[in-house]
A and B are shown apart, each in its own frame.
Chain A
Amino acid sequence: MQLAYYPGCSWETSGREYDLSARLAGGKLGLEFIEIKDWNCCGSSAGHSTSRLLATALAARNLALAEKMGLDLTAPCASCYQRLALARHDLLADGQLRKQVNRITGHTFHGNMRVRSILEVVASLGGEHIAARVVKPLRNLKVAAYYGCLLVRPRAVQVDDPENPQMMEKIMAVAGAEVLAWSHKTECCGTSLAMNNDQLALPLVAGILEAASLSGADCIVCACPLCHFNLDYRQKKVNRVLGTGYQLPVFYFTQLLGVALGLEPGRLGLFDHFVNTKPVLQLVS
């Protein structure tokens, strides 16, 4: 399956392992990601809190470029996914807005393409397709799948049930891991407040880490670079400020899937995390 690939701004920085592992694991599963040439900011983060028109226009340019390729678009980053999918939804619902935005971007977007989260793309391959390619089942690994807020809300673009999503669980189960029922899979991780309101954001991170630990998870799997950064990088700060002692590795689902598909951990960026991943990875090897 060919898809127009939108890497997003985190691809070479904080979310490098996500991009690496998505491309590699995708390749193993027969997904061909063709990077959109001359892609630009998706319009999330600062963009959409400043101006709806700006956020829609930024996204629309990427949508139009993908449409010209004749492909559906996929984005690994949950924030990119939500912004692009919402912009598409708004543009299809409002002809006036579409005309206005097309004038701004200089690229005509007709609406003949879909925006799909990479989680949705992989899940849609089906359990059998993935299982047939698993060479190293993730036995002994207990995972808590964490979706955050961007993939399951709002309703117009949600990829799965907003209260008890199951997509990541299904993928991880096929990869051989034990998936746990836990309480905080769609809780806010506090990312948008992390920079300016630590007092509010840190307890949110701590709540997720606590719930995952209580469920008996060895690690958290996620599908969003913002969540990942918050849960992985800020774990140390949570421990320092709140006096806790969490050592809970946080993986992208594509990384663990990559391991199961026989990819070498180093190439998947598994050793580039802030929380030490080695003890957990030893469980699988």
Chain B
Amino acid sequence: MRIGVFICWCGSNIGGVVDVPRVVEAVSALPGVACCSDYKYMCSEPGQEKIRRAIAEHRLDRVVVASCSPRLHENTFRQVLAASGLNPYLLEMANIREHCAWVHQQEPAKATAKAIDLVRRAVAKAGKLEPLHSAAIPVTRRALVVGGGVAGMQAALDIAEAGYQVVLVEKEPSIGGKMAMLDKTFPTLDCAACIITPRMAAVARHPAIKLLTHAEVTAINGYVGNFKITVRQKARSVDYDKCTGCGICQEKCPCTVNSEYDQGLGTRKAIYVSFPQAVPNKPVIDRAHCRRFTRGKCGVCQQVCPSGAVDYAQEDVLFEEEVGAVVLATGYDLFDWTRAYGEYGYGRYPNVITGLQFERMNNANGPTGGKIRRPSDGGVPENVVFIQCVGSRDEAKGKEYCSRVCCLYTAKQARQVLEKIPGAKVHVFYIDVRCAGKAYEEFYQDAVARGACYIRGRVSKIYPTGDKLMVRGADTLLGRPVEIEAGLVVLATAMVPGAGGAELARLAGVSTGKDGFFQEIHPKLRPVESSTAGIFLAGSCQGPRDIPDTVAHAGAAAVKVCALFARGEIITEPVVARINERLCTGCLACRLVCPYRAVEPKSIPARGGAPERTVAVVNSGLCQGCGACSATCRSGAIDLAGFSNEQLLAEISALCH
């Protein structure tokens, strides 16, 4: 055994605390160590060259690098070994930066002793390392995108344009998402519909995109490159092959329901198309409200349909799709302020609305035809008060985080009030105005210049006085309470993860943060990858973001998918669990603890003609090498490659030496 040990100073990160020459001296004396040297930055090109030279010069067959966390540079050093003709898994790292120098800055002598121990441990394990080999698995070049908002559409179009097939699943009857509800978008004031509706049409038209609306993903099985997805096509009660989208059924339907698309400010029928520009532009029956389904009577839509498309007997259909990658783009919902903010009336005052309701009202195809009106009586509100951070930045009642988009859309809406209602007064209560973004600060300043009056402080109470509302708050810059009479109050409510996100996270095996947004694997370097290989994140399901950022994020997710497909195969990590079938008793405790559903039971012939017996088998495509099964196995039948029991025991005995 000829082990080479390379100790990094990491500038002063390690060298400023740990006495590196002292470590070199101690390690050189260890059995099996053929050479030991140190360098200022082992990860740099001269550092790597030093290792390559030493491997050749000393005929090394194992390498130990004592530096930073293996999360940072294990791969870098594995490449160095590979370039020198060694199996890359004959590398062992000792983390003497995060685990030693950084946390023991005040005690250099003890830190040095600990560094020597850590390196001794690594040398002991290195002596037991064996070469490991990766395998290649073919990839299904077809992607699933969950969610048909602006993020999902962007990801689907980008992947399809790159020449791959896409299945786009949307739970609502139409794609378009929240953006299709908006009026104009900041900071350019371009009309949201003019941007989004052509995209919707493009998605529907694209030959590589299979569009499934009014559908849900109910299972995600398999692993990167080879997922099996189960989709439930919810019953529409309308045969889309026959339906021409003429709209007579909607006209004649006698049952009126609050419109989700209009955020409760307008109505729709029980058989409905969400909005005139919906894609697909064909109706579904809302069975929770339809009289045919609730009372067994009616049937008007079937009678009037000229093409006989209405089918009350239609049922949900389950089917499978095979894909190689998944993009989650399930977006956001608005924080339900009516449950938390009693001081704003718990939703009892009709003239207190959310920003999204304001968008609907302000939209030319909205319930008021684009006129800003008081929902209570249809009157023109001459005083409009905007309240920012309702549910955002409020640990007591809402969420700790900032929702990022509200400052700008409030400024936009303030401007629109001033433009549409001559002589109107606009007050905006804020905590901070956060305008980080290209042309955002200028946009906000413009709203102020046009007459929006910004008051720094929270609103403590809204109460009705006659047909007006009194908004009472604090002006924390002047240090005094303020009361403003308002005809309309608009709340900038927080963004929260889209409904069903938690269930989807469970299905996909994706982790979520404390607020329920999907968790990216690295906040800076891997912002679109989830904790499960092959599952990517796009848009505000990962955290609050505005439209430009969402589109950029979705594009990034699409690129990752395309990169996977372009390679055509996945090189599997060989650090996976291996089961010794002779020792396995088939208790399957490993299956219970496996977070990746990588363990399955398997029947094998027993010895001596006895009946078949069950053993566990690991799917190496799913296994992420966490080691939970190995630690759980009572009969010691599972070894994790690169972390075998023998290797771990060698480390422990070196530490206890």
Contact = CB atoms under 8 A, between A and B. Distances in A.
Interface in A203-252: 211, 214
Interface stretch (A115-123, A132-140, A159-167): A159-167
B342 A181 contact: no
B465 interface: yes
A183 interface: yes
B465 A162 contact: no
Contacts of B342: 161-164
B463 interface: yes
A161 B348 CA distance: 15
Interface string B341-378: 11100101000000000000000000000000000000
A61 interface: no
A181 B348 contact: yes
A164 B464 CA distance: 14
Contacts of A142: none
B463 A163 contact: no
Interface string A139-181: 0000000000000000000000111100000000000000001
Nearest to A184: B463
B580 to A, nearest CB: 55
B352 to A, nearest CB: 13
A161 B339 CA distance: 11
B463 A211 contact: yes
Interface residues of B, number: 10
B280 to A, nearest CB: 44
Chain B, interface SS category:
mixed
A164 B339 CA distance: 12
A214 B465 contact: yes
A181 B463 CA distance: 11
Interface string A72-116: 000000000000000000000000000000000000000000000
A163 B343 contact: yes
A164 B343 CA distance: 8
Nearest to A165: B342
Select the residue from B343, B463, B466, B470 with max chain A CB neighbours within 10 A.
B463
Contacts of B346: 163-164
Nearest to A210: B465
Given A161-B342, A162-B342, A183 B463 contact: yes
Contacts of B341: 163
Interface string B442-486: 000000000000000000000111100010000000000000000
Contacts of B470: 183
A215 to B, nearest CB: 9
B7 to A, nearest CB: 51
B464 A183 contact: yes
A161 B342 CA distance: 8
Nearest to B463: A183
Contacts of A211: 463, 465
Contacts of A181: 348
B603 to A, nearest CB: 59
Contacts of A214: 465-466
Nearest to A215: B464
B369 to A, nearest CB: 32
A211 B464 CA distance: 9
A214 B468 CA distance: 13
Contacts of A164: 342, 346
Interface string B322-348: 000000000000000000011100101
B591 to A, nearest CB: 45
Nearest to B344: A163
Contacts of A183: 463-465, 470
Nearest to A183: B463
Contacts of A162: 342
Select the residue from A162, A163, A184, A214 with max chain B CB neighbours within 10 A.
A163
Interface string B510-550: 00000000000000000000000000000000000000000
B13 to A, nearest CB: 44
Select the residue from A161, A181, A183, A184 with max chain B CB neighbours within 10 A.
A183
A276 B346 CA distance: 36
Contacts of B464: 183
B142 to A, nearest CB: 52
Interface in A181-208: 181, 183-184
Contacts of A163: 341-343, 346
Nearest to B469: A183
B38 to A, nearest CB: 54
The 3 closest A-B pairs by CB, nearest first: A163-B342, A183-B463, A164-B342
13 contacts: A162-B342, A163-B341, A163-B342, A163-B343, A163-B346, A164-B342, A164-B346, A183-B464, A183-B465, A183-B470, A211-B463, A211-B465, A214-B466
Given A211-B463, A214-B465, A214-B466, 9 more contacts: A162-B342, A163-B341, A163-B342, A163-B343, A163-B346, A164-B342, A183-B464, A183-B465, A183-B470
Interface of B: 341-343, 346, 348, 463-466, 470
